[in-house]
Structure 1
Amino acid sequence: SLLSPSAAFNLPDDPGYSNKRWATNAERKAAAVACPVTPEDVVQVLAFAQGKAPYDSQKRLHLAVKGGGHTPSGASSSEGGLVIDLQPNMHSVRVDPDAKLAYVGGGCLWQEVDEATAPHGLASVAGIVGHTGVGGLTLGGGYGWLCSQHGLVIDNLVQATVVTSSGDILTASDAQNPDLFWALRGGGANFGVVTEFVLKLHDQRPDLYTATLIFPPHSLEKIINEINVWIQHREVTELAHLTFTYGPNNTPVIILQLVFNGDTETGMKKFERFVALGPVANQTETIPYLKLNHLKVIPPRYRIFQIPLAHLVQDAHAMHGTNRSLQGGFIPCVSEGIPYLFIKDVYESWLNCVTENPLASQSVVNIELYHPRRWSSIPSNATAFVHRKPVYNMAYVMAWSDDSFTEQAGKVNLALHQDIVRSRHVHFQADSVGEGGYTNYMDEESRLATKDFANRRFRENFARLVEIKLRYDPSNIFGRWFAATH
């Protein structure tokens, strides 16, 4: 074998074979799963998949690359093809505390990064769920709890090691292959297999303050009014998520999760305005920073008042082992605040969706109210990630366990998305609406339903991405994630 001794090439009957994914409906039956150890192993696997020397007799295989396997679209899976699974063997993290850098394997999960950096009093910008893969989230942009302070994950990417379809092992940075480095930061998995990310680290206190408040739906207007007052004066260390979900007894609830990256006493003062609104449940606690990004996963509808409430916001879209469809959109940040009538439309569209489709009653809408100043100060052409206007990120996570709903689930979630887009056009000025949505929150249904989807996703950066794609992946073997092609 030309692979490293501890690398693996697993067939369906082998014990190391796995097609498990975060979303059950994203699982496919691959003909083989390769688990490389080194970039050189990836070179061999790519040559095999393409029928290149020394594997000239091998016909070309459909290829997918898996890091954390978090996309519900199936982009990290392959039916009858070959999956390169980076997670088993390429998940090391090396921290240089003096340089404040983390050298992160392409198969790492964010919780592995957090656990390696926290002992040094450092943290990287990450996502909001610890078992998300570093690779997919980073290459698509990377929102998370620390992005208000430090920018998106891609704004903290210093260097990447990339294996291209031609078998080259390249370093991409501002100094080396800068065109590829530009494309990787927001252009997704279009250009090669990233076997290592070098991430900038930041000083991070060991604990922070959280408040998780649960309200009945009739409180929505006063919540939005108070949020609009708060966002005028808050600092970048003050964060919030607003979530629509089902609570006990199949009743809809609104969850407001508040995070202050600071001390408890100050946090209590900053968020007392929301506690004064009279939530039906209220839990405040000081938690380790580590806990924020990989909270324990418990189905919220059954345990909502029996566990620490701060565990809930991620829960509905964090559990492994259920079917999912994902959509998303941006809410423009405008000086007059978030229109209550727009949020009311979002809530009613979600409620109508889950009422009419009871098999999808686990579904949630989650609005991420991060401070946009840091990432929106970066020009839209500085990286491939074009969405640099000040916006709030919103995700609609449809979840269901009954496989009979799978065929229609994506269409139902797309319809919800389209309802919300129509409402956005009603409640915001036209020049603030055109941002679309975060590509990592876009599912296969969006791509299939939208003409020139990739062009519209990347907008003014699309032509340059196509040019770079032709240079590094002319045969489009890395075409599973919104391919930058005409």
Structure 2
Amino acid sequence: MTTPTTAEVGRGSREPPVVEIDGFRGWLISADHADYDLARAIWNGAIDRRPRLIARCIGTADVVAAVRFARDHDLEIAIRGGGHNVAGTAVCDDGIVIDLSAMRAVRVDPADRRAWVQGGALWGDVDHETQLHGLATTGGIVSHTGVAGLTLGGGIGWLMRKYGLTVDNLLAAEVVTADGELLRASEDEHPDLFWALRGGGGNFGVVTSFEFRLHSVGPAVLAGPILWDAADAGEVLRFYRDFVRDAPDELGTVVRFGAAPPLPGIPEDLHWRPVVMVGTCYAGPIEDGERVLRPLRASRTPLLDLVGPTPYVGWQSSLDSAVVHGWNYYWKATHLPELRDDLIDVIAEHAFSCSSPRSYVAMFHLKGAVSRAAEGGTAFGNRQASHAITLDAVWLPGENFGDQDTAWTRGFFAALGRFREGVYVNFLGGDEDPDRVREAYGDAVYDRLAGVKAKYDPDNVFHHNQNIGPREMKARTVAT
């Protein structure tokens, strides 16, 4: 199953809506619309919700109209950007989904190294336009990740150790508030709101456009995966720990544990074989990257080494077919410290105990520019963690792996308990304890966010998210 494009939903089969929204020019899709089931489907196929109305916006004025309509009619509001939303909060039952997925425009000023991006864009849209000028900013590692969701939660990606998180490159945002007002947030305009948007998620309004700082990247970078047999996981991780400790900021790495997916370049005899895969991307001169990566590439005789010069925009989309729209996903996640031997033993023991060949573990190396930014300078928390790890149960619709691998994920997460150091809010699932949202920020940042929430959304209108309630209000999340 794939998620339909904007052109496939609404256009060509538009039917008269059950309701009208004053000033709304996009598509209104209700349960009797031919495209309703396509329009309510999101990336995570395990989510099955039935909103009363989907308001697919084509501009900021539509967003304003939809928010005001929802408030006037006391409707639950869910906000959908363009991307993944593993927790499923982008769609609600019996409310209105304000859908920005048709708003995907990107404009680049190469001289000033800035980009303006609409709230429904995907990172593939941004990379496509910015790489025309040899520019980029930190984005997701999958091209169909949504710009809005990734940015508002913080934004980790291949470039973060060199150029910071996505929020560290956000210069301004246009936001529709719970009152249906349009504000511009920046260091100079509504700075409290701007601070909160940089990591606080979708709690404070609907962001209809972002302004980003860009950097010289590519068009070619040294990038690619290195694969080792799963039996070597412990020794590979010990070498990796020592290797990344002194790695330059230009080197981004992600370690993946699981069956080798049938991606281009991976020989057929390795497909579905349990492997440790280290993805690499060097955001600097290719000859420097060759020197930096040489020790890792020579370690323990890899099964496969695909590192080489490659277009940055191609590397950004290289994992797309391994995380397909419509598959079922269940995640647990945490931040981790440096990889001590006892932590490595826990990871090696649990990482390959899943049942579904599509389930996997992903571990992102942080530090670099991420940890040098001031703690509390943005709402992103836990900047001193060394790694972020996700434990991802994945199974196809109709398969029977769901219960087994959900249990595997929970058991693995429990085994990591004594090593946990907070969590990345974008990696939280839909059935989390509300205290985990506080864990994503720490007490000081969370309490400050609750104060901003009380100012801009005192009624907690925007609560279909990893929720931060207004000050004095207990946080709540929406269960899957």
Asked whether the two chains share a fold, i.e. TM above 0.5, the reply is yes
In structure 2, do the counterparts of structure 1 residues 261 and 377 end up closer, same or farther at CA, with 3 Å as the change threshold? closer
Counterpart Cα distance in 2 of 1:125 and 1:290: 12
> Equivalent residue for 2:195?
182
- Aligned partner letter, 2:197: L
TM-score normalized with structure 1 length: 0.85
> Identity across aligned pairs (percent)?
30
Counterpart Cα distance in 2 of 1:265 and 1:453: 43
> Equivalent residue for 1:368?
364
> Equivalent residue for 2:175?
162
Counterpart Cα distance in 1 of 2:447 and 2:319: 43
Shift of 1:69: 3.8
**Residues 368-392 of structure 1, C-alpha deviations (whole Å, 9 max, x = no match):** 124x121212222211112221421
In structure 2, do the counterparts of structure 1 residues 409 and 296 end up closer, same or farther at CA, with 3 Å as the change threshold? closer
Match among 298, 303, 306 for residue 280 of structure 1: 303
Shift of 1:482: 1.9
1:238 aligns with 2:246: no
In structure 2, do the counterparts of structure 1 residues 216 and 406 end up closer, same or farther at CA, with 3 Å as the change threshold? closer
1:62 aligns with 2:63: no
> Equivalent residue for 1:442?
428
> Equivalent residue for 1:212?
225
In structure 2, do the counterparts of structure 1 residues 351 and 341 end up closer, same or farther at CA, with 3 Å as the change threshold? same
In structure 2, do the counterparts of structure 1 residues 5 and 442 end up closer, same or farther at CA, with 3 Å as the change threshold? closer
Q: Note if contact 1:25-1:406 (Cα within 8 Å) is conserved in structure 2.
A: no
Match among 471, 474, 482 for residue 458 of structure 2: 474
Shift of 1:84: 0.8
Shift of 1:476: 1.2
In structure 2, do the counterparts of structure 1 residues 230 and 249 end up closer, same or farther at CA, with 3 Å as the change threshold? closer
- Aligned partner letter, 2:440: R
> Equivalent residue for 1:254?
276
Q: Note if contact 2:256-2:363 (Cα within 8 Å) is conserved in structure 1.
A: yes
In structure 2, do the counterparts of structure 1 residues 389 and 264 end up closer, same or farther at CA, with 3 Å as the change threshold? closer
- Aligned partner letter, 1:376: S
Counterpart Cα distance in 1 of 2:246 and 2:450: 41
Counterpart Cα distance in 2 of 1:483 and 1:121: 37
Match among 98, 115, 121 for residue 84 of structure 1: 98
Q: Note if contact 1:4-1:37 (Cα within 8 Å) is conserved in structure 2.
A: no
Moved more, 108-117 or 379-388: 379-388
Shift of 1:292: 1.7
> Equivalent residue for 1:394?
389
Q: Note if contact 1:349-1:420 (Cα within 8 Å) is conserved in structure 2.
A: no
Q: Note if contact 1:163-1:194 (Cα within 8 Å) is conserved in structure 2.
A: yes
In structure 2, do the counterparts of structure 1 residues 16 and 103 end up closer, same or farther at CA, with 3 Å as the change threshold? farther
Structure 2 residue matching 1:453: 3-state secondary structure: helix
**Residues 270-322 of structure 1, C-alpha deviations (whole Å, 9 max, x = no match):** 22222322012222331101012112644xxxxxxxxxxxxxxxx2xx22121
In structure 2, do the counterparts of structure 1 residues 409 and 257 end up closer, same or farther at CA, with 3 Å as the change threshold? closer
Structure 2 residue matching 1:270: 3-state secondary structure: helix
- Aligned partner letter, 1:127: G
In structure 2, do the counterparts of structure 1 residues 255 and 454 end up closer, same or farther at CA, with 3 Å as the change threshold? closer
Counterpart Cα distance in 1 of 2:26 and 2:434: 41
> Equivalent residue for 2:26?
7
1:323 aligns with 2:320: no
Structure 2 residue matching 1:398: 3-state secondary structure: strand
Counterpart Cα distance in 2 of 1:38 and 1:395: 34
Q: Note if contact 1:69-1:133 (Cα within 8 Å) is conserved in structure 2.
A: yes
Shift of 1:342: 1.3
Report which of the two has the higher share of helix. Answer: 1
Shift of 1:151: 0.6
Counterpart Cα distance in 1 of 2:395 and 2:89: 20
Shift of 1:251: 4.0
- Aligned partner letter, 1:292: W
* Structure 2 unmatched ranges of 5 or more: 1-19, 261-269, 475-480
> Equivalent residue for 2:129?
116
Structure 1 residue matching 2:309: 3-state secondary structure: strand
Counterpart Cα distance in 1 of 2:411 and 2:125: 36
- Aligned partner letter, 1:49: A
Structure 1 residue matching 2:62: 3-state secondary structure: helix
- Aligned partner letter, 1:386: G
Structure 2 residue matching 1:46: 3-state secondary structure: helix
Q: Note if contact 1:386-1:461 (Cα within 8 Å) is conserved in structure 2.
A: yes
1:25 aligns with 2:46: yes
**Residues 64-122 of structure 1, C-alpha deviations (whole Å, 9 max, x = no match):** 1101241221110112221111011x111111112211110000101101111111121
Counterpart Cα distance in 2 of 1:81 and 1:395: 30
Structure 2 residue matching 1:227: 3-state secondary structure: helix
Q: How many residues get paired? A: 437
- Aligned partner letter, 2:452: I
In structure 2, do the counterparts of structure 1 residues 466 and 207 end up closer, same or farther at CA, with 3 Å as the change threshold? same
In structure 2, do the counterparts of structure 1 residues 412 and 477 end up closer, same or farther at CA, with 3 Å as the change threshold? farther
Match among 281, 291, 304 for residue 269 of structure 1: 291
Aligned-residue CA RMSD in angstroms?
2.1
Q: Note if contact 1:3-1:41 (Cα within 8 Å) is conserved in structure 2.
A: no
Q: Note if contact 2:234-2:348 (Cα within 8 Å) is conserved in structure 1.
A: no
* Structure 1 unmatched ranges of 5 or more: 53-57, 299-314, 425-432
**Residues 232-264 of structure 1, C-alpha deviations (whole Å, 9 max, x = no match):** 432111222211102457542111222222444
Counterpart Cα distance in 1 of 2:245 and 2:446: 34
Q: Note if contact 2:117-2:211 (Cα within 8 Å) is conserved in structure 1.
A: yes
Counterpart Cα distance in 2 of 1:192 and 1:297: 29
> Equivalent residue for 1:309?
none
Counterpart Cα distance in 2 of 1:205 and 1:249: 30
In structure 2, do the counterparts of structure 1 residues 173 and 324 end up closer, same or farther at CA, with 3 Å as the change threshold? same
Counterpart Cα distance in 1 of 2:212 and 2:466: 24
Counterpart Cα distance in 1 of 2:312 and 2:83: 24
In structure 2, do the counterparts of structure 1 residues 470 and 138 end up closer, same or farther at CA, with 3 Å as the change threshold? same
Q: Note if contact 1:147-1:374 (Cα within 8 Å) is conserved in structure 2.
A: yes
Moved more, 232-241 or 188-197: 232-241
Counterpart Cα distance in 1 of 2:22 and 2:120: 18
Moved more, 264-273 or 119-128: 264-273
Counterpart Cα distance in 1 of 2:24 and 2:95: 23
In structure 2, do the counterparts of structure 1 residues 104 and 227 end up closer, same or farther at CA, with 3 Å as the change threshold? same
